[in-house]
Structure 1
Amino acid sequence: MMRAMDRSTQIKAMASEQRLTILRLLAEPQRHFGHQWSADPVEFGVCMTLIAEALAVAQPTASRHLEILKQTGFITVRKHLKWSYCKRDEAAIRDYLNWLGTELSSRA
């Protein structure tokens, strides 16, 4: 179970259109990053450089967004050689959505 402060960080992370776009792109890695040659985008994750290109932002900007998503648990980052690969953490995202649904339902 996440602490309230962690949930607050997750909510702030979801308030960014760029971060939502990253999560949408990573939901279908083969479709959006099938051209990645260094590793299988589905099995291994997507290279941060390709994510920056997909967003049309500089690498440092993409890295900041990815770091926030990593801190919230929505993605995992795996290093291989000189690259870092990102993958959605489906369980963490599902947990957040379940929590949000419960919070938004009416309570007596």
Structure 2
Amino acid sequence: MDPDLVTALRAIANPTRLQLLAWLREPERHFPVADTAVDPHEVGVCVSLIHAKAGLARSTVSAYLAELQRAGLLRATRLGKWTHYRRDEDRIARLITTLGQTL
């Protein structure tokens, strides 16, 4: 069994982490990114916007995002004191392919 696939499946087994990943698929639809100076697809969405939408403690949201990043599903970009997250679409596509070949 591919250990990267197992790690990714564990990360998305949590409904909230799966929801975060889904929101980041269409950031312009789920976050007020029009007011930001960065492209949410290139740089990502600021963790403060993700936190506000999730309605959870900042530490919980940060831990969930870190788990998705460790699983290779998200990439983090630091801009000054803010961290932005975006999906790693290539990695997600490879994991989906691996899942399809495994099951």
User: Which structure: larger Rg?
Assistant: 1
Please state how far the C-alpha of 1:36 moved relative to its aligned partner. 4.5
Letter in 2 for 1:6: D
TM-score (norm 1): 0.86
Aligned partners of 1:42 and 1:101: how far apart in 2? 26
Please state how far the C-alpha of 1:68 moved relative to its aligned partner. 0.7
Give the structure 2 partner of residue 43 of structure 1.
Answer: 42
% same residue: 35
Q: 2:5·2:99 contact (CA, 8 Å) conserved in 1?
A: no
Please state how far the C-alpha of 1:35 moved relative to its aligned partner. 4.3
Aligned partners of 1:38 and 1:74: how far apart in 2? 24
Higher relative CO (Cα under 8 Å, sequence separation at least 6) belongs to 2
Q: 2:77·2:83 contact (CA, 8 Å) conserved in 1?
A: yes
Letter in 1 for 2:88: D
Whether 2:75 is the aligned partner of 1:63: answer no
Aligned partners of 2:20 and 2:35: how far apart in 1? 16
Residue 39 of structure 1: SS of its match in structure 2? coil
Question: What do residues 79-108 of structure 1 show as CA deviations (whole Å, max 9, x unaligned)?
Answer: 00110000000011111111111111xxxx
Give the structure 2 partner of residue 82 of structure 1.
Answer: 81
Letter in 2 for 1:9: T
Please state how far the C-alpha of 1:42 moved relative to its aligned partner. 2.7
Please state how far the C-alpha of 1:38 moved relative to its aligned partner. 4.6
Deviates more, 1:35-44 or 1:88-97: 35-44
Question: Residues 3-14 of structure 1: matches in 2 within 5 Å?
Answer: 4-14=2-12
Q: 2:47·2:84 contact (CA, 8 Å) conserved in 1?
A: yes
Question: What do residues 36-61 of structure 1 show as CA deviations (whole Å, max 9, x unaligned)?
Answer: 52523233210011111111111100
5+ residue gaps, structure 1: none
Runs of 4+ in 1 over 6 A off after TM superposition: none
Q: 1:44·1:87 contact (CA, 8 Å) conserved in 2?
A: yes
Letter in 2 for 1:45: G
